[in-house]
């Protein structure tokens, strides 16, 4: 402790801003790689909010969840990148719109 003490609300606002950035990126970007990056930003913003909350209660729980989110995100992204490789091979593009054969 000591040094710069940041109030919880500031960190939560920062996390919310990061989350919105990720969500916007996910919705606006059409390249799959960028969508995965936006996803990562969203997951990490949630992790940041956990660390801040853990600091508020002076517990390690927040940081433990942070580690869990990191590893879960890594697993998700590596499956995603594996899919990206296959998609590049089949579709010859990483554009989500041109790879849209299924109509919702």
Partner 1 sequence: MSGADTSLWPFVVYFFAVLALVATMLGLSWLLGQHRANAATNVPFESGALSVGSPQIHMAVEFYLIAIFFVIFDLETVFIFAWAVAFFELGWAGFISISIFILLLGVALVYELRSGALDWGIKTRSGAPTSTLTQEAQK
Partner 2 sequence: MNIDDLQGLLPLLTLAAGATALMLQIAFARNIKLTSFLAVATLLAATLSIVWAGESAPRFVTPLLRADKLALVFSALFCVAGAVTAILSMDYLNNRGDEPEEYFLLLVLSTLGACVLAYASHLASLLLGLELMSVSLYALIAYPDKTKLPLEAAIKYLVLSGAASATMLFGFALLYATTGTLQFSAMAQQLANIDTGNITLLVASVMIVTGLGFKLSLVPFHMWTPDVYDGAPAPVAGYLASVGKAAVFVVLVRWFIASNLFRFSILIDCIALLAILSMLAGNGLALLQTNIKRMLAYSSVAHMGYLVIILVVGSDLAHRPLAIEAGMYYLIAYTATTIAAFGLLTLLSAGKSQKENIQLHDVSGLFWHQPLYACLMLVALLSLAGIPLTAGFVAKFYLISSAVSDGRWILLGSLAIGSSIGIYYYLRVVFYMTRRVEEHKNIPEAAHGLIEKFMTCTLIASILLLGIVPQSLMEYLRSILQLVN
Give me the residues that bind partner 2 (CB under 8 A), please: 8, 12, 15-16, 19, 22-23, 26, 32, 35-36, 39, 42-43, 45-47, 49-50, 52-54, 56-57, 59, 61-62, 64-65, 68-69, 72, 75-76, 79-80, 82-84, 86-87, 90-91, 96, 99-104
Q: Which entry of partner 1, partner 2, none binds 56, CB below 5 to 8 A by partner kind?
A: partner 2
**Positions in the binding site for partner 1 (CB under 8 A):** 4-7, 67, 70-71, 74-75, 77-78, 81-82, 85
Q: Least Å distance between CB 2 and partner 1?
A: 10
| Neighbour tally for 5: CB within 10 Å | 7
**Distance, CA of 95 to CA of 101 (rounded, Å):** 12
Q: Least Å distance between CB 90 and partner 2?
A: 5
**Distance, CA of 31 to CA of 26 (rounded, Å):** 9
| Nearest-5° Cα angle at 47, 44 to 50 | 160
3-class state of residue 95 by DSSP:
strand
* Packed helices 32-57 and 61-91: angle between N→C axes, nearest 10 degrees: 180
């Amino acid at each position: 402790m000591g040094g710069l003490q940041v109030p919880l609300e500031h960190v939560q606002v920062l996390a919310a801003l990061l989350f919105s950035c990720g969500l916007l990126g996910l919705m606006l970007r059409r390249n799959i790689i960028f969508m995965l990056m936006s996803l990562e930003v969203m997951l990490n913003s949630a992790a940041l909010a956990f660390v801040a909350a853990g600091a508020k209660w002076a517990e390690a729980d927040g940081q433990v969840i942070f580690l869990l989110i990191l590893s879960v995100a890594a697993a998700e992204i590596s499956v995603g990148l594996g899919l990206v490789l296959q998609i590049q091979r089949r579709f010859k593009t990483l554009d989500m719109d041109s790879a849209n054969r299924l109509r919702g």
